[in-house]
Amino acid sequence: MKKVVRTPDFPIVETKLGKLHGFLQDDVYHFHGIRYGTAERFELPVMEEPWEGVRDAKSYGYICPLLPEERQAQAALTHDPSDRDNPFAAPFSSFEMPHVYWPMDEQCLYLNVWTKHLDKEAKKPVMVWLHGGGFCSGSAIELPSYDGTNFTDYGDVVFVSLNHRLNCIGFLDLSGFGESFRYSGIVGMADIVLALRWVKENIKAFGGDPDNVTVAGQSGGGGKAAMLLQMPAADGLYQKVISQSGALKRSRTKSVEEEKTYWQELGSKTVQILGLDETSIDRIRKIPYEELSAAASRAGRELGREGGMMLLNPSPVEDYYIGSFELAGFREETADIPVIAGTVLGEFNFMHYLGDKDRYSEEEKMTLLRETFGDKAEHVLKLFEEQYPGKDPLYALSVDGMFRPATVAFLDERTEFLQKLGKGTRSWNYVVSAVLPYLGGITLFHCGDIPFIFRNTELEPVICTAADYREELEKRMSEAWLAFMKKGDPSTKELTWDPYTIEHKTRMQFDDQSRMNRKDDTELLVCF
């Protein structure tokens, strides 16, 4: 049974900006809803001003407003009534993917801290967690598995999560309309940099080591974590990076200049739809968010762009964000930053709900594989069985062809970059290939690795179906992440994790029996 303590004068921590009043739950101190900065629309954020007295830090702060389609989908305000028998249509999908919704406001620069120490000399490793949802949606509390309590308690570390600006108020590039909009296409990442500055200056008060900060994230959060490598403004604010399912696809453009133009076009189209021009552009700072976000979504449609959480991405700004690594290359200043990058086997391909696989004959299984792979079915199956021995052939249908190839490309370029500098590899790769017995067996899905890492598997019913191996996998993954935070190498006493190199594209395969997989899976990946 949980025990919570909060008295008029306990627990209180004094930061450089002022005092905060949180609560103690069992052995973990919670300080939630700490405002780390403020920001005018389309401008760089500024650090929160110091305050007198004591501020409450017991409840989460505002989250960033969402685009219209994202708000409807995530809050399940709309759905197709004719689809009510579909267990994966909102809101019925909350069993598979629980979500937490919260009040929204453009002033959303809040962070949360979990710690076991209020001793400034404790110097515990720090994780700064970046939420998923692309660059357009999500929040620090959207998934129950984001809760830092168990990870902090088990690993004796400090855990920080944060909200920042997203979508059209975080990444709409209006720089073509003058110097005052120079940073408009990157301010969402600037918020993250400011949060890291806050950590650097204040985390000692929570028992954290400001010189041992690991930035980690999953999906869009994994992309943000890796993107910090391309941002000189973030140098010195973190020491390690973990990107979970954070690489999606190669750049749409051929140069940093083209990448910049691509995002400026979306900004210009949005301005046009709003009926503004160079002489009236400043009005965009006061237009209601609903009107602005609707115009940005419409602009994306008219330009033939992807919508929803894929509508916007950070736009390059000279000397601040140099552009994506495949166009701009990696920065030498980041050569000593160790990186973990990996994926889960199924990602968004896990939805092959074929029930009990044993009820299919071998011939029926091959028929299903041929429906997807055609004449390549036998070849794909052979390669799949080499990489994942013992897995039912039907799970070849779930192999991810989006995130893993992009992750391998990221690691290849990072490793080549380090080799050219004469540096040893400091990268590690993984795949989570566990199969949940849910509905007869599904591969682990996008976001499915987070509960294991943060030891929150009990919070997600679908994960709890893996009763036979749940605790074992939770232990292996959480301990690897903790080892990486503490010493920059994810190897543990139980699992020696080989670094990733161009010659040896090894990966840790987390499963009911985790192991190193030293077989190159490039040939399998090109089939997807």
Q: What is the pLDDT of residues 172-217, one digit of tens each?
A: 999 999 999 999 999 999 999 999 999 999 999 999 999 999 999 9
Are the C-beta atoms of residues 270 and 296 closer than 8 Å to each other? Answer: yes
Q: Which helix (H) or strand (E) holds 129?
A: strand 124-130
Q: What pLDDT, on the 0 to 100 scale, is given for residue 78?
A: 46
Whose CA is closest to 345, among 281, 280, 394, 282? Answer: 394
Q: What pLDDT, on the 0 to 100 scale, is given for residue 73?
A: 53
Q: What pLDDT, on the 0 to 100 scale, is given for residue 71?
A: 59
Whose CA is closest to 191, among 32, 18, 38, 406? Answer: 38
How much is the average pLDDT of 69-88?
A: 54
Cis peptide leading into residue 91 (ω within 30°): yes
Percent residues over pLDDT 90 in the chain: 88
Q: What pLDDT, on the 0 to 100 scale, is given for residue 150?
A: 98
For residue 406, what are the contacts with CB-CB under 8 A and spacing of at least 6? 247, 248, 249, 250
| Cut 0.85: pTM above it | yes
- How large is the C-alpha radius of gyration of the chain? 23
Across the chain, what does the average pLDDT equal?
94
How much is the average pLDDT of 484-488?
A: 97
**Residue scoring higher pLDDT (350 or 275):** 275
Locate CATH 3.40.50.1820 in the chain.
4-244, 338-525
d(CA 115, CA 29): 5
* Domain topology for 4-244: Rossmann fold (3.40.50)
The class level of CATH for 338-525 reads alpha beta
How much is the average pLDDT of 266-291?
A: 98
Q: What pLDDT, on the 0 to 100 scale, is given for residue 189?
A: 98
Q: Kindly give the interhelix angle for 362-373 and 377-387, rounded to the nearest 10 degrees.
A: 110
Percent residues over pLDDT 70 in the chain: 94
Task: State yes or no: pLDDT of 69 exceeds 80.
Answer: no
Q: What is the pLDDT of residues 85-115, one digit of tens each?
A: 555 555 667 788 788 888 999 999 999 999 9
Are the C-beta atoms of residues 343 and 349 closer than 8 Å to each other? Answer: no
Task: State yes or no: pLDDT of 81 exceeds 60.
Answer: no
Are the C-beta atoms of residues 494 and 479 closer than 8 Å to each other? Answer: yes
Q: What pLDDT, on the 0 to 100 scale, is given for residue 77?
A: 43
Quick one: tokens of 492? 């543990």
Task: State yes or no: pLDDT of 76 exceeds 50.
Answer: no
How much is the average pLDDT of 483-488?
A: 98
Q: What pLDDT, on the 0 to 100 scale, is given for residue 503?
A: 92
Of the ranges 107-116, 134-143, 219-228, 249-258, which one carries the lowest mean pLDDT score? 249-258
DSSP letters spanning 210-279: EEEEEEEEETHHHHHHHHGGG-GGGTTS-SEEEEES------SSSSHHHHHHHHHHHHHHHHHHTT--TT
Burial degree of 192 (CB within 10 A; 0-12, 13-18, 19+): buried
Cβ neighbours, 10 Å, residue 303: 13
Are the C-beta atoms of residues 368 and 393 closer than 8 Å to each other? Answer: no
Residue written as tokens 């685009």?
Answer: 67
Q: What is the pLDDT of residues 386-444, one digit of tens each?
A: 999 999 999 999 999 999 999 999 999 999 999 999 998 899 999 999 999 999 999 99
Of the ranges 28-37, 63-72, 470-479, which one carries the lowest mean pLDDT score? 63-72
Are the C-beta atoms of residues 116 and 27 closer than 8 Å to each other? Answer: yes
